[in-house]
């Protein structure tokens, strides 16, 4: 279905029925709600589940003038309020994890009953790739431009390369380190992480363990950045155990 909130169009898929707390799912950068259909159906036997195309993706309007993940998350908050949901369970993957972290760490009119983060973005990542980019920026002055371009393209974040037409939005929503926000999460939280994630390393789970008071961490040992795709039944099982 399509929902219009403050003049913006949002594409939302609704699953299931029941009186238990509804679930709202947010996908990662460059993705869509479609990849969540299997999981949404599996957990919607006693509750409604909403899978949302985040602003600027899928069937949802690209927002204008967004300067931060906080402003971006406010759009999602307004959508949830428009749907008439007073309390929810949030599920967020990657970019969706950023959204979930922000909403769960700030006072809103919506009660976040539980938070489920799947390989969430939000923490600054130290990696050899970033160190390499810094080093190369110093020596590339002496390298022909066509070689600089080729190497820079190969080393750039995949999300950024795939964000043509959305790069202003990309820079706005990924520029904030959410370490402080993570410390403010009060609701029970389930963290699922792909052990072989080469985008957001599994060592980041240690930060969440340290700063989120009420957290369960589950590792998808055979997954990279998308355990909900590579190990869907494992993720479904862990979510159902958590939200029962």
At residue 67, the pLDDT reads 87
Domains of the chain and CATH, by start? 2-127+169-243 (3.40.50.1820)
Q: 227, 235 in Cβ contact below 8 A?
A: yes
* Alpha carbons 120 and 179: distance in angstroms, whole number: 12
* Alpha carbons 10 and 59: distance in angstroms, whole number: 7
Q: 228, 93 in Cβ contact below 8 A?
A: yes
The helix/strand/coil state of 11 is strand
Predicted TM-score of the model (pTM)? 0.85
* Alpha carbons 34 and 203: distance in angstroms, whole number: 29
Range list of H helices, 68-193: 69-82, 95-105, 128-139, 145-155, 158-161, 167-174, 179-183
Digit-by-digit pLDDT tens for the chain (244 residues) are: 999 999 999 999 999 999 999 999 999 999 999 999 999 999 999 999 999 999 999 999 999 888 899 999 999 999 999 999 999 999 999 999 999 999 999 998 999 999 999 999 999 875 434 444 444 444 444 555 554 444 444 444 555 445 555 678 888 888 789 999 999 999 999 999 999 999 999 999 999 999 999 999 999 999 999 999 999 999 999 999 999 8
């Amino acid at each position: 279905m399509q929902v219009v909130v403050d003049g913006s169009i949002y594409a939302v898929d609704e699953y299931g029925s029941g009186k238990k707390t509804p679930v709202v799912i947010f996908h990662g950068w460059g993705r869509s709600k479609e990849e969540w259909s299997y999981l949404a159906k599996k957990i919607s036997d006693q509750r409604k589940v909403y899978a949302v195309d985040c602003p600027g993706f899928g069937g949802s309007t690209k927002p204008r003038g967004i300067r931060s993940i906080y402003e971006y998350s406010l759009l999602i908050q307004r959508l949830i309020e428009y749907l008439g949901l007073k309390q929810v369970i949030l599920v967020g993957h990657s970019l969706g994890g950023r959204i979930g972290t922000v909403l769960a760490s700030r006072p809103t009119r919506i009660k976040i009953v539980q938070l489920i983060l799947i390989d969430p973005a939000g923490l600054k990542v130290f990696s050899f790739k970033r160190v390499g980019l810094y080093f190369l920026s110093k020596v590339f002055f002496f390298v022909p431009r066509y070689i600089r371009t080729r190497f820079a393209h190969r080393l750039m974040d995949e999300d950024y390369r795939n964000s043509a037409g959305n790069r202003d939005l990309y820079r706005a929503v990924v520029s904030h380190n959410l370490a402080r926000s993570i410390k403010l999460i009060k609701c029970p939280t389930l963290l699922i992480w792909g052990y072989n994630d080469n985008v957001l390393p599994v060592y980041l789970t240690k930060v969440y363990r340290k700063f989120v008071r009420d957290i369960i961490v589950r590792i998808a040992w055979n997954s990279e950045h998308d355990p909900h795709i590579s190990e869907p039944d494992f993720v479904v099982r862990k979510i159902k155990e958590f939200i029962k």
